[in-house]
Amino acid sequence: MTGSIVLTACGSEADKPITDTQRQWVDAFCGGVLPGLEAGLELRKQDPADFAAVKTAYLRLLTSNATAFAGAEKKLKELGAPEDDLENVHEQLVKFVTESAKSYGDAQAPVQALEPNAQFLEGAEKALADTNVVTSPEDLRATFQELQKRPKYSDALGKSAPCTEIRSKGQEVGQQ
């Protein structure tokens, strides 16, 4: 009996079942990405000749991303790193969502000022590029890949409603 207690006490964090807080962290991670993905799909569905609809959809994309990333930043900061050895992953993710929220938020006014015409998309993309402060966009993919390597997080990603939606929407993008 004593031996099993010692072994349990020495078990790594990876061996423990996922906690509710860790599940919330996974949901916050995916929840920050999902609204922008949905808005991006909506933008792609617009008739490129309907400049007003394209502009409305593009502004929705900016607003959705700014709001979702800001919400993810707040939630991730509240929750903290899900495990000690994920502190660096957590910090990279918080930096990514913070910079992304600022980039999309800062692009809203310049894009709103653009005329809905044939040059709108080009101008909107330039405005977004000009306001982009994301220093490491690859951090998002790296975070996802790091979590996929860990069985309990891989399982949590599979069970998380926002993460499942991302996979579903990602398949939609692939089919378009």
25: CB partners within 8 A, 6+ apart: 76, 79, 82, 90
pTM of the model: 0.83
Q: What are the pLDDT digits (tens) for 27-47?
A: 998 998 889 889 999 999 999
Whole-angstrom distance, CA of residue 75 vs CA of residue 80? 9
Q: What are the pLDDT digits (tens) for 44-63?
A: 999 999 999 999 999 999 99
Give how far Cα 168 sits from Cα of 51, 87, 126, 136, Å.
28, 29, 29, 25
